[in-house]
Amino acid sequence: MLRFDRSLLPAAQLEFVVIADTHYMIDPGDAPLEFESRRHQSERGRTAWQMVAALEPVFVVHLGDLVQEFPGRPGFERAQQEALEQIDAAGLRQLCRFVAGNHDVGDKPDPTMPTEDVTTAGLADWQRTFGPSWSSWNVGGLHFVILNSQILNTGLAAEAEQRSWFETDLAANDDPVVLFLHLPPFLDHGGEAALGHYDNIAEPARSWLLERVRLHDVYTVFAAHVHFRFLHSLGAGRRYWLSPSTSFTRPGYGHLFTSAAAPERGRDDADKIGFLLCRLVDGRLDVHLVRSHGIDLDRGSIQLTPTPVTATGRLGVSSAHVLAPHTQIPIAYPSAVRQPVRNDYPLLGLLELGCERVRVPAADLLDPVQAERLDLLREEGVRVQVTALGEAAARACLPQLHDDDLLELQLPGRLLPEMEAVRELAADGRQIVLCPILPGQSVPGKQHPRTRIGYLTGELASLSELLSDPGISLTPAVRLDGDAPWSAVQALGTADNARDIILLLELPGVDDARNAVAAAFGVVAAAALDATPLLEPLVDLDRTMDVSNGLLDGLCNPRPAFHVARHLAACLAGHPCTPSLKTRSAARIVDLGWGRHLVIVTAPQPLRRLGVVDPTRVLRLVDGVWSGVGTDLDRDAVVDPTWGPLLLTSESDVR
């Protein structure tokens, strides 16, 4: 039976789940379908509901679109009943609160919408099954509110009733408010067009709603409908989350990405489906994505990892791409206008990683879109390391830096900085990172010499005097070979003046298995040196002189290295790490101390022959699933290289 492992997370005062757009579909049998993925929607929903049940939340909010059919269509009532039976089978019906979506009660009032508007009769049908379409309740010191976004701007009597009720409810409440909707108030910005836009609330209801959010202590808003994730700041620490679907992705939003379309013209980007686990931790609402595609419900324990603000590990990322690319979705069904939109998946990936640091060029501080995203990351606990090429550029960006930002002074063509400039840059106690940019480096297999970024371990001696100056906080950025980091770890571990370092780890190429191992070795090396590793690239570099798979692919879905870094960094946090490498005929084993071993097998090997004494649990780092030896996994099980890097422990618990 599937379980979840929370041992790496801080204690929570409340946990609840937000799930959306399950789109239950009656079994079509052999009937032809426009999209074959529709045959999987109901089973994907079943998997998600079983996972929700395994989390044992206090309550569940379904953000709407319970079924695929629209009201009034043949099979609508049957689909709705079967969808509820699916929830009953998971034992969750009594915990669920339902938000009305367009597939539940009808579309917003817009003459370009593909289905009928909401009607009084349709609302009455909904209420007979689910109760009132707006409601509120209190638990854990929070006030939760559900609104029916589908009736906004309709002029129906229900709209006026809901508006009056909401304003009265807010006025009578003193607790922070969490608001649930189906339709997003906006996708890109509060002033975007609405007529012909399938995915937002039109005026005047939008302004009325957002004004209520600003005037009252509504500090988190959840919406759905788009089947893609977005995250907005509403100011004063308020967050506005758009939730994923458990069933499919909307095709048009594939234009967010530079890669080829996902299967079925973007409709079946299955790696994006899932739901949200929300945890109230010391007055803060931490939101965790729980991915639901490809999950084995019969065995194992899925490890949950901390968000950046609660993470104690040290994991960073260098972002070669802008963190928030902006585009417009072309005019295409079901919208009649272009839809301006921002790709939030790189940023959301950093939060899922539990990233402690992100490295970006100083130019991003002057770009309003990127600067706003960096502000959000800072609020979420991510430290920003700003790179400036040369002393003049470093001086110029000082006014844009926040107090906790690191400034990376990049040295064009040289190893040493101008000392007068360094003292000026560090005058306020700011930590300065030094990083050379050196062209003309020979690389096997490359016609032209390449540019090397970062110091080699043998070059740190030239910094000895600088690093020993007690009046300046300097940190060298050192390149790390992810394939073979151990000599560098040994050299850096014995260098008295290089204790505080940053490790630059570039994933070695387009082989995901090799990159996953490099990420694991890099995280271990950083833990051994108590250093911060900066992994790169964040997103695939697939059309440059030197191609490399990223932590995220071109669709911004995690590659194996992403999950390996995420889970291993979280597991190593707070523990001393003294790695010792042992190479066997078909395995590389790194003894990490305290009963832990990192294992990479190169050919199938029985678990009992790996040379690890009495392992009790095995963590597949590529998917974060713990297996108990003797329960989930037989002691004679054969470990296959396709499992990727493994963490073996002789402890019964992670901590």
When pLDDT is cut at 50, 70 and 90, the band that residue 650 belongs to is confident
Residues 319-335 as b/e (b if ≥16 CB within 10 A, e otherwise) read bebbbbbebebeeeeeb
H/E run at residue 243? none
More confident site: 389 or 583: 389
Tens-place pLDDT, residues 440-492: 988 888 889 999 999 999 999 999 888 888 888 999 999 998 888 888 888 88
CA 612 to chain centre: 33
What does the alpha-carbon distance between residue 296 and residue 515 come to, in Å, rounded to a whole number?
25
Domain with CATH 3.20.20.80 in the chain: 316-572
Q: What is the pLDDT of residues 18-40, one digit of tens each?
A: 999 999 999 888 889 999 999 99
The pLDDT tens digits of the residues spanning 175-209 come to 999 999 999 999 999 999 999 999 999 999 999 99
| Of 426, 416, 289, 409, the residue nearest 359 (C-alpha) | 409
How far is the C-alpha of 620 from the C-alpha of 563, rounded, in Å?
A: 10
Give pLDDT, residue 143.
98
Least confident piece of the model among 361-375, 378-392, 489-503, 594-608 = 489-503
CA distances from 509 to 57, 515, 547 (A): 41, 7, 7
| 402 pLDDT above the threshold of 60 | yes
Residue 196 CA: distances (Å) to CA of 114, 317, 335: 10, 39, 6
- Delimit the CATH 2.60.40 region(s) of the chain: 580-649
Q: Where in the chain is the domain with CATH 3.60.21.10?
A: 3-303
Residue type, 607: L
* CA distances to 12, 172, 356, 439, 502 from 529, in Å: 31, 54, 16, 28, 10
Whether residue 604 is preceded by a cis peptide bond, meaning omega within 30 degrees of 0, is no
Question: Is residue 630 pLDDT above 80, yes or no?
Answer: yes
pLDDT tens by residue, 200-245: 999 999 999 999 999 998 999 999 999 999 999 999 899 999 999 9
Give the torsion sign (CA, 519, 522, 526, 527): positive
Distance CA 426, CA 442 (A): 34
Dist. CA 144–CA 167, nearest whole Å? 14
SS (H, E, C) 619-630: EECCCCEEEEEC
Instruction: Share the mean pLDDT of the chain.
Output: 94
pLDDT higher than threshold 70 for residue 79? yes
Confidence of residue 142 (pLDDT cuts 50, 70, 90): very high
Round to whole Å and give the CA distance between 199 and 180.
16
How far is C-alpha 456 from the chain's CA centre? 32
Confidence at residue 496, expressed as pLDDT on a 0 to 100 scale:
55
Average confidence (pLDDT) over 6-11:
96
The pTM assigned to this predicted structure is 0.96
Give the mean pLDDT of 292-319.
92
- CATH number for the domain formed by residue range(s) 3-303: 3.60.21.10
Q: What is the second-level CATH architecture of the domain 580-649?
A: Sandwich (2.60)
- Identify which of 270, 263, 290 has the alpha carbon closest to the alpha carbon of residue 48: 290
CATH architecture of 316-572: Alpha-Beta Barrel (3.20)
Judge if the upstream peptide bond of residue 308 is cis by omega within 30 degrees of 0.
no
495 pLDDT higher than 80? no
The residues, any chain, with a CB within 8 Å of residue 346's CB and separated by 6 or more, are: 319, 321, 323, 324, 325, 538, 539, 552, 556
The identity of residue 474, as a single letter, is L
* Phi, psi dihedrals of residue 127, rounded to the nearest 5°: -65, -30
pLDDT of the residue at 497? 45
655 pLDDT higher than 50: no
Nearest to 30 by CA among 21, 41, 39: 39
Task: Give every CB contact of residue 322 below 8 A, 6+ residues apart in sequence.
Answer: 364, 367, 370
CA distances from 514 to 297, 507, 533, 579 (A): 29, 8, 18, 20
- In tens, the pLDDT along 507-548 reads 999 999 999 999 999 999 999 999 999 999 999 999 999 999
**498 band by pLDDT with thresholds 50, 70 and 90:** very low
**CA 431/CA 408 separation, integer angstroms:** 9
